[in-house]
Each structure stands twice: as C-alpha cells, then as structure tokens.
C-alpha cells in the first residue's frame, strides 16, 4: 500500500480511522444505509468483503451514493477479483494472504492495498518488494499484540492493520502499538441490527469504535 487514497488528506487507509469495519452483506440494499451510519459514527473507511454475491453491488452502491465513505474490497484472493472490485468502485483492496500473481494484480490496480501476513518471513518478503503496509491476519490466532510488538524492533518500517478476533476490549491494546495504524473488525455491525435496519445502533457503536485510539493511549 504505497500511494495516497484519492481525494483523501490521509496518506493511507491506515490513517483514516482507528477501526476499519469489515462488512459482510447478504443484501446489497443494506449497503448505503449501513455505510451512512458508519461514516456518521466516524468510520469512513469501509471494507466490504467478497464473501457474498451481493458484495460487488454493495461496493458500487456505496461508491456512488456515499461519497464521504472510502469503500474497499476485502477477502481479495484472486487477480480477477482485483479488476472486478476496482471496476465496482473500490478505493482500496485487502487480502488475507498473498501470492506473486495477486500482489502484481493489486500493485497494478492503481489503488492502495493491504496484503495479508502472519509471519516475519512474509513481512520481510513484502518489504523486499517495496510494500510497507499490510494486514496482519488472523491477528489473535497468529500471536496478537505480543507478536506484533516483537516485530516492531527488527522491522520498524512495517505497519499493520490487524484483523481477526479483535473486539472493543482488545482493540485499544493493538492501537497502542507503534506499528499498528488501525484494526479491522465487525463488532460495530451486529447482524441483528443490520437485519432490523437499526442504523442508529450501528452509528452509536461506530462512534464508540472511533474513540478507541484515545483509549489505547495514542493519537495521530
């Protein structure tokens, strides 16, 4: 992830907000009101995962109707998904892991990207290729804050968005680390709230999540 986001004052998606909501939508009709609630709560960077058939339409709807949002595509695991996601309006890409082919496709997309890593060797391999911003996944299972803290010494140039098993109680611990720019999570998007169209609840949870950087004792 080496280039600035279009029309964004931040250098990268890691700096837009302390939390990137990880959104899984079964119905694209929920995309716009959900995105508006998240943005109103202070979380403009929104990762829509490509885990459901509704994802491309959801990305397109957010890109077209919620200009305040910075919508991205997550769970990008194949080069062809890169083209489809950017065509739908994705402004950043996130993968759970990477291959040379996938990395080449993401680099060629022209939008920022976060390739996934879970080991020091994967981090070093990306640094060799000029990539300094990465997704750390699955964060809790792969060693959590202790592992990331141990990487900060020998690999201080790497910055991470940890995702996987993180909630409001543990997020501040991650955000306090010098090599963590933001975290990814879905706790501010309860399935029952989405099903009920309770966007006020989503906004309240998003606002609480947006304040977690201060809770972690670190501000940008």
User: CB count, 10 Å around CB of 185?
Assistant: 24
- Told to judge if 47 belongs to the known catalytic residues of this protein, a careful annotator would answer yes
- Told to judge if 135 belongs to the known catalytic residues of this protein, a careful annotator would answer yes
Which of 133, 135, 173, 203 is catalytic? The answer is 135
Which of 47, 133, 173, 203 is catalytic? The answer is 47
Q: Please provide the size of the chain in residues.
A: 220
SS (H, E, C) the chain: CCCCCCCCCCCCHHHCCCEEEEECCCCHHHHHHHHHHHHHCCCCEEEEECCCCCHHHHHHHHHHHCCCCEEEEECCCCHHHHHHHHHHCCCCEECCCCCHHHHHHHHHCCCCEECEECCHHHHHHHHHCCCCEEEECCCCCCCHHHHHHHHHCCCCCCEEEEECCCCCCCHHHHHCCCCECCEEECCCCCHHHHHHCCHHHHHHHHHHHHCHHHHCCCCC
Q: How far apart are CA 50 and CA 59, in angstroms?
A: 10
Residues annotated catalytic, as ranges: 47, 135
């Amino acid at each position: 992830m080496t280039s600035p986001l279009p029309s964004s004052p931040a250098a990268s998606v890691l700096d837009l907000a302390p939390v990137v909501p990880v959104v899984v939508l079964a119905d694209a009709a929920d995309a716009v009101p959900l995105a508006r609630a998240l943005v109103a709560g202070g979380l403009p960077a929104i990762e829509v995962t490509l885990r459901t058939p509704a994802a491309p339409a959801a990305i397109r709807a957010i890109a077209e109707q919620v200009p305040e949002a910075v919508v991205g595509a997550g769970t990008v695991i194949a080069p062809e998904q890169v083209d489809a996601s950017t065509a739908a309006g994705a402004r950043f890409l996130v993968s759970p892991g990477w291959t040379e082919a996938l990395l080449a496709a993401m680099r060629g997309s022209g939008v920022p990207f976060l390739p996934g890593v879970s080991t020091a060797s994967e981090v070093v391999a990306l640094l060799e290729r000029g990539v300094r911003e990465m997704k750390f996944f699955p964060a809790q299972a792969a060693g959590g804050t202790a592992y990331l803290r141990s990487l900060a010494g020998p690999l201080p140039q790497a910055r991470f968005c940890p995702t996987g098993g993180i909630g409001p109680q543990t997020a501040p611990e991650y955000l306090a680390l010098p090599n963590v720019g933001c975290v990814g999570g879905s706790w501010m998007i309860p399935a029952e709230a989405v099903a009920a169209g309770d966007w006020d609840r989503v906004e309240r949870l998003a606002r609480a999540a947006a304040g977690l950087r201060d809770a972690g004792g670190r501000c940008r």
